[in-house]
Amino acid sequence: MRNSSTPPLLRLEDICVKFGFVEALKSVNLSIQRQEVVAIVGDNGAGKSTLIKVIAGFLQPGFGHIYLNGEQVTIPSIREADRMGIASVFQGQEFCDNLDVASNLFLGKEINQIGIRDDDSMNSRARSVLKTLSSAIRVGSPIASLSVGQRQTVAIARTLLNDPQLILLDEPTAALSVMQSAEVLAYIKRLRSEGRSVVMVCHDLPDVFAVSDRIVVIRQGHVTGVHRTVETSYEEIIAEIAGVTTEHEYEEIAENPKFDSMVRQRKLIDRTISAAVSHGTGHDSPLD
């Protein structure tokens, strides 16, 4: 149970963002607590990625205030966000395919001793970070040899180098197989168990329901709903995303056969996450 006197990890107050005459975010208010996973969902163009980019320091709000650990802050850049304990993984993370895993983890943040790159320290730190995620990825493996899911794991591992409080993930399971998605979702749960908070933009509701503590629905730049995941349903979330206002429209959504498919997919994800966790914690493969 959280101490009511402790301020949230992050609080957004009346955040507004405009692109020309288009209002991408309209007076958004949102709090992120410590040690929780918050999923942001909504239709294309709803403002999900804009919101996460504001928190990441990639975009500056035209109006509003941001509070981190109860103190008002400005997040002028991704680099400054990283220094403040906010790390982010956006879609299309770029890697240098001619370098190994450890070199990609430390790209632009190389450890040097007396002006000489310290590969031993970087390899040791890389092993430690990957072990946190229960990953069997070898730090000396060429990044080009990794699967899409493994590259996503490396992208998440890279965020952990500065021991962040808050990790932002933009569509972390997009284009992944069921097993690869389950591994990433298992890593997200692991991050929460370590005391970190995660905010993820995700369009796949079974993934959202499998790992999140709360679901935030954004529609046309507004936060239209914030739900505890265990207290809501696919029907309610999709109705809010679609802007359903009548009982008849809601019944049509609830009767859609794709919900049976979602339920089956969720059960498969839960089983696969359990298998991924068991595999990750039980292997004895070296990481170098």
pLDDT in tens, the chain (288 residues): 455 578 999 999 999 999 998 999 999 999 999 999 999 999 888 999 999 999 999 999 999 999 999 999 999 999 999 999 999 998 766 788 888 999 888 887 787 877 778 888 888 888 888 887 766 788 888 999 988 888 888 888 888 888 899 999 999 988 788 888 888 898 899 899 999 999 999 988 889 999 999 999 999 999 999 999 999 988 888 888 888 766 666 666 656 655 556 656 666 666 676 666 555 543 333 334
pLDDT at 211: 94
Q: Which CATH class is domain 10-282?
A: alpha beta
pLDDT at 35: 96
Scanning the structure block, which residue is given the tokens 């952990």? 160
Q: Which among 174, 218, 215, 203 is positioned nearest to 47, based on CA atoms?
A: 218
pLDDT at 281: 42
Report domain extents, the chain.
Answer: 10-282
Q: Are 58 and 78 in contact (CB under 8 A)?
A: yes
Q: Which among 163, 177, 153, 32 is positioned nearest to 95, based on CA atoms?
A: 153
Q: Are 93 and 155 in contact (CB under 8 A)?
A: yes
Q: What is the pLDDT of residues 12-68, one digit of tens each?
A: 999 999 999 899 999 999 999 999 999 999 988 899 999 999 999 999 999 999 999
Q: Which among 243, 235, 171, 231 is positioned nearest to 207, based on CA atoms?
A: 171
pTM above 0.75, yes or no: yes
pLDDT at 131: 81
Q: How far apart (Å, rounded) are the C-alpha atoms in residues 54 and 12?
A: 10
- Per DSSP, the residues of 199-250 read EEE-S-HHHHHHH-SEEEEEETTEEEEEEEGGG--HHHHHHHHHT--SHHHH
- The tokens of 46 are what? 């709803």
pLDDT at 1: 45
Q: Are 210 and 273 in contact (CB under 8 A)?
A: yes
> How many helices and strands in the chain, by DSSP H and E?
10, 12
Q: How far apart (Å, rounded) are the C-alpha atoms in residues 287 and 141?
A: 9
pLDDT at 132: 76
How wide is the angle at C-alpha 186 spanned by C-alphas 180 and 188, nearest 5°? 110
